[in-house]
Chain A
């Protein structure tokens, strides 16, 4: 294959993978100082907390022996992952909740919508661009994670699973952000609704799980026929919660606990059920965004 045809082939593939909207989003996002500051503060927070954790565990817990106990590296991994989860919950809505409404407010959306770019291309490119930036943030934290590997204690599979889980969570929160950004004309409203939904996913679902669990236990207290396993379905509520899903990756026994299983196997790990549920949520959000970004012609026979 000649050099020219190779170059041409690469260009063709580049054109297929990077459409004009995605190209525009990449360029413009990295030309604003906000991106640099976002990355800076993200790393500052996660790095600062990681080193604070090491400080606390070496100086305070080990009573000044200044030796980091390798047995604690697992805890550190959990801790960094939990911080990362919180940061994703904070960043993902902020990065996506204004991508469509922001263009509408800047009065550039109508121009974009009169081009030949399909609604699907516009929505997916916006999502992909936001996710790419979030991926950059998460990838940039790798050196912090590498501290954990210095001491061992974490399997590569677990590490990979946690990262894939983070990416999936970003897709989910990003899809919801884009949906609200499409449905609401004002970015402020979209941001508030997206953060509200995120708060519900993180806190509300957990609260409902605990509440239902508690109520059932209270109702059946003292009952001769009470068997916790028969209320295993309550575990499905926990499957809506990302914190519970992440914990089930850290510790597989979590799934059994939430399903009240004393022995035997749960049908699904909690995180697998989480992925199943939110895959549907994300797909619905993306489809609705695609449908509503342009005016909906009710009489249309040929959707374009």
Chain B
């Protein structure tokens, strides 16, 4: 709603700018009784982006996704999908999204093709088109050989893939996938990842929350880290990693004198947590490169026999753990 110069309210429901983002969330808040699940989230995801949504259980990922899927009402703030507000234009939003919840059921008495026909028809796709489309979808999710199987005979991984095919039946621009790989064995996870890569190459915008995000690192363009209902970090993985470099983890391998070295390090500046193993010490270091060079020098000068001094590679999981430790944000 906007106001004209005369002060009259004019409904402007659709943001139709050509470069509008696929998802635009502003000040999104959701309260369940006294519990605040979302505390004013701001998030913009451009078209074609594969966005990884990371956060511990109960952080607010599923709530955000439910609101985007028009299944929950925001307490405050706005959420738009392709320019359409989820509260004022839910039907337009539904046309554009394929939603896969973290837990979902299937109609067991349906055959896989019937299952997809039902959802296709529910999206208003004519039967002739569905007859052509459904074999292609089953092929995409590697279920062509199960086309006549009853849904209750499928394994969990197969059901997950069938649900993904269901999400795609109306060719949505945005896929909202809430933990699509949860409960899957490693092989099924790999299959799911390959399908998602394929979808990425098709130009779909994907918002995905997953425990296997580290495995998806190469296909995710951006991540958003949510904790206690707040977005604590957002950006591409490299950016976030570089921002977190102040909290690098060093591994110092030593020949003997491990206890003495630990005591020595504890007295040095910029040292965080220390963890000693059989041959060396993991050091959470908060200093810059100059100070780090000085640390090596002082170790050697104090008679410690340093075999190697390395900086641990931070992967996406480390980034996630680093950001969400103790609830401190690294915005």
Residues of A within 8 A of B (CB): 19-21, 23-24, 27-28, 31-32, 106-108, 110-117, 294-302, 304
Task: Categorize the interface residue count of chain B.
Answer: 35 or more
Given known A111-B166, A115-B123, contact A28–B71 (CB-CB < 8 A) = no
CA distance A191 to B109 in the complex (A): 23
Q: Does B104 contact A (CB under 8 A)?
A: yes
Interface residues of B in 77-102 (CB under 8 A from A): 87-92, 94-95, 97, 99, 101
CA distance A302 to B86 in the complex (A): 11
Given known A115-B122, A116-B122, A297-B73, contact A304–B11 (CB-CB < 8 A) = no
What are 27 residue pairs bridging A and B, where the CB atoms are less than 8 Å apart in the complex? A20-B118, A21-B122, A24-B107, A24-B118, A27-B114, A28-B107, A28-B109, A31-B109, A106-B105, A108-B104, A108-B105, A110-B71, A110-B101, A111-B99, A111-B119, A113-B71, A114-B70, A114-B99, A115-B119, A116-B94, A116-B124, A116-B170, A117-B122, A297-B73, A300-B88, A302-B89, A304-B91
Q: Does B110 contact A (CB under 8 A)?
A: yes
CB-CB < 8 A to B70: which residues of A?
A: 113-114, 294-295
CB-CB < 8 A to A115: which residues of B?
A: 94, 119, 122-123
Q: A32-B109, A297-B73 provided; 11 other pairs, C-beta below 8 A?
A: A20-B118, A110-B66, A110-B71, A114-B97, A116-B94, A294-B70, A294-B71, A296-B73, A297-B90, A300-B87, A301-B88
Least CB distance from A15 to B in Å reads 9
Contact of A295 among B1, B73, B97 (CB under 8 A): B73
CA distance A302 to B72 in the complex (A): 17
Least CB distance from B159 to A in Å reads 11
CB-CB < 8 A to A116: which residues of B?
A: 91, 94-95, 122-124, 170
Interface residues of B in 139-177 (CB under 8 A from A): 163, 166, 170
Q: Does B43 contact A (CB under 8 A)?
A: no
Given known A116-B95, A297-B73, A304-B91, contact A107–B107 (CB-CB < 8 A) = no
**In contact, B99 and A23 (Cβ under 8 angstroms):** no
Contact of A20 among B1, B66, B89, B122 (CB under 8 A): B122
CA distance A298 to B76 in the complex (A): 11
Least CB distance from A192 to B in Å reads 23
CA distance A21 to B118 in the complex (A): 8
**In contact, B91 and A107 (Cβ under 8 angstroms):** no
Interface residues of B in 3-18 (CB under 8 A from A): 11, 13
Residue among A116, A298, A300 with max Cβ neighbours from chain B (10 Å)? A116
CA distance A298 to B88 in the complex (A): 10
Interface residues of B in 26-81 (CB under 8 A from A): 66, 69-73
CB-CB < 8 A to B89: which residues of A?
A: 302, 304
CA distance A27 to B302 in the complex (A): 81
**In contact, A110 and B69 (Cβ under 8 angstroms):** yes
CA distance A20 to B123 in the complex (A): 9
Given known A24-B118, A115-B122, A116-B94, contact A297–B104 (CB-CB < 8 A) = no
CB-CB < 8 A to B1: which residues of A?
A: 301
8 closest pairs, A vs B, by CB? A20-B121, A115-B122, A304-B91, A107-B105, A106-B105, A31-B109, A297-B87, A295-B73
CB-CB < 8 A to A20: which residues of B?
A: 118, 121-122
CB-CB < 8 A to B88: which residues of A?
A: 297, 299-302
